[in-house]
A = this chain, B = another copy of it.
Amino acid sequence: MSLIDLLLGRPLKSDEDRNERIGVLAGVPMLGLDALSSAAYGPEAALTLLIPLGAAGLRYIGPISGLIIGLLFIVYFSYRQTIGAYPQGGGSYTVAKENLGTFAGLLAASALLLDYILTAAVGISAGIGALVSAFPKLQPYTLELCLATLALLTIVNLRGVREAGLAFMAPTYLFLASMLGVIGLGIVKAAMHGWHPTPIVEPPALPEAEATASLWLLMHAFASGCTAMTGVEAVSNGIRAFREPAVVHARRTLTVIIVALAILLAGIAALCHLYRVGATPPGQSGYQSVLSQLTAAVVGHGVAYYIAIGSVLSVLCLSANTAFADFPRLCRMIALDAYLPAGFANRGRRLVYSQGIIVLAILTAILLSAFGGVTDRLIPLFAVGAFLAFTMSQAGMVVHWRRKGGEGSQRSMAVNAVGAVGTGLTLVIVLVAKFTEGAWITVLVIPALLALFYGVHRHYRAIAREIETAEPLDTTGLEPPLVVVLIRGWSIITEKAMRLALTLSPDVFALHVTADDEAKVKKLRARWARIVEEPARAAGLPVPRLIVVSSPYRRISKPLLDALGELQRDQPGRPIAVVIPEIIVKHWYQNFLHNQTANLIKGHLYFSGLEQVSVVTVPWYLSR
């Protein structure tokens, strides 16, 4: 078993690809994990901005959460409709492209790509944030832990996550159960103590107020809190994963997710208020996540605490994992429309879209490194992409209903229009509030992505035009190629290549580049006459000529190109087929030992610009 097999799993054949259709129970973890886990960083992001208000800040977390929950339900009703209208899967890219045109589709796509990168980065950094809250000694290693987690996720995803459904189920429901448990218990305890409960573990004291509330500050907090809504579009993308009737199952799943998320957001806001828990300054020693403080306040630092924090850590890391499923899939769709390199549409050795995974991993690593692995610094970039995609999708749905017309379309259009306006307004608020803190980056990145898309498309179009022809096949002047077999000596590999060459053309040459002296060359010629020329002549076959080229420093490409150039001069216009035997190795690292010369020669041939030269690779499978 080779190292890469060990890391990435053995290569899968293409037919080992089966989809199991899921119901609501499996759908909630698989498509809802990203949305639900947002509860772990959304409220905290809002609270972080309220830190300067000191204890007074807690007054505002209720109204802000209420506003976000309201927006959440608007989005919910909009997406219910998208599910009905696009049962084949209505991602923002598809919906925007089909209804608003290619540019709108690509705009949504670039927003989503950014969103996925941030989902990966924020998921990992928030998960590690939970970890360092539980084990403060790890705080100085935040970035290292983030990058290690990223590396692990990348490897797992390059392996292909076939059992994703099951692996997601346990942590998601554990997370839901423990968070709902903490919220329920916390509220009951508070009610029993006349709404003035005593925390089991006292949360860090809230700082002195340094500022008073302003509309600007509250807008900021709201904009940050909106990150709690990221991920809710996943169900509308993944309808095809559901059992029939898929639309019904998808809608039920979305309902469960939205209701659960709303309860989590409301509950966290209530507990913060009741237990006087605020955010602590992120990225500094003494940092403790809000969920960690809440859990400790309600259940103390016992086993229950570690189970809850463990479930938070795992759903956050798994939510990063959803980006590893979505990003490559979206890249593939864009690549199929020729706006990204075609390679993104190809599946790798484990039936996953490896290129997309690798690109995502690299970009996430850059983002994590640039922002030190601190969630709070990533948040300003986050909501822009998500809300831009929401808005494009809802706007697309509005056009969809207008085009479709008929009964009920007016009402549906109104619902999606409310969604579009709600998410669009939020997008503006987020952009304005967060502009100087990092949202400006998205304003650069999205146009850059669009430029990339159109640049790639232009290139493909130009080439398509260049190679386009309406002429029928030209059948004149067809001549069999001059076949040149590169040989090192006489072996069964050479024999296989020679046997193929003899069937391709009456003009076969064997080319041998050597540093040996004349005596040895003479011996080779004699041997060649005996073991190749004589049998060929006897069988009435064309007799392959041996060409020996001397190269004192054992250089190969130059003498080879010279010899080919000479053949070309002798018979201009004749195609030339260079036959190169290639050894197929069992283990990847053996490639260092073989075919380097073959690859070099191919490179030189293509660099030479000899247009008539084709390369025939004859594989030889090593038996061991």
Q: Which residues of A contact B (CB under 8 A)?
A: 11, 13-15, 336, 341-343, 345-347, 456, 459-460, 462-464, 466-469, 471-476, 478-481, 490-493, 495, 498-500, 502-505, 530-532, 534-536, 538-539, 541, 554-558, 561, 575, 577, 583-584, 590, 592-594, 596-597, 600, 602, 605-607, 609, 611, 613-624
CB pair B473 A535 closer than 8 Å: yes
| A-B CB proximity, top 10 nearest | A14-B558, A343-B596, A475-B539, A472-B531, A467-B491, A480-B503, A615-B617, A341-B592, A614-B618, A341-B593
User: Could you tell me the distance between the alpha carbons of A597 and B221 in the complex, rounded to whole angstroms?
Assistant: 48
Q: CB < 8 Å: which of B471, B503, B596 contacts A346? A: B596
CB pair B491 A468 closer than 8 Å: yes
In the complex, 11 of the A-B residue pairs with CB atoms within 8 angstroms, ordered by the A residue number, are A11-B607, A459-B590, A463-B622, A466-B622, A467-B491, A471-B531, A472-B532, A473-B532, A478-B503, A500-B614, A504-B505
CB pair B609 A621 closer than 8 Å: yes
A402 CB to closest chain B CB, in angstroms? 28
Q: Which residues of B contact A467 (CB under 8 A)?
A: 491-493, 620
CB pair A592 B343 closer than 8 Å: yes
A342 CB to closest chain B CB, in angstroms? 6
CB pair B503 A575 closer than 8 Å: yes
Given contacts A345-B554, A474-B495, 16 further A-B contacts (CB under 8 A): A14-B558, A15-B558, A346-B556, A462-B624, A464-B491, A467-B492, A467-B493, A471-B531, A472-B531, A473-B532, A478-B541, A479-B503, A481-B500, A503-B575, A584-B606, A614-B617
A346 CB to closest chain B CB, in angstroms? 5
User: Could you tell me the distance between the alpha carbons of A541 and B476 in the complex, rounded to whole angstroms?
Assistant: 10
Q: Which residues of B contact A538 (CB under 8 A)?
A: 475
User: Could you tell me the distance between the alpha carbons of A336 and B602 in the complex, rounded to whole angstroms?
Assistant: 21
The residue of chain B having its C-beta at the shortest distance from the C-beta of A346 within the complex is B600
CB pair B14 A557 closer than 8 Å: yes
Q: CB < 8 Å: which of B462, B474, B615 contacts A499? A: B474
Q: Which residues of B contact A557 (CB under 8 A)?
A: 14
Please indicate which of the listed interface residues A479, A618, A623 has the most CB atoms of chain B within 10 Å of its own CB. A618
Q: Which residues of B contact A614 (CB under 8 A)?
A: 500, 616-619
Q: Which residues of B contact A503 (CB under 8 A)?
A: 478-481, 505, 575
Q: Which residues of B contact A618 (CB under 8 A)?
A: 614
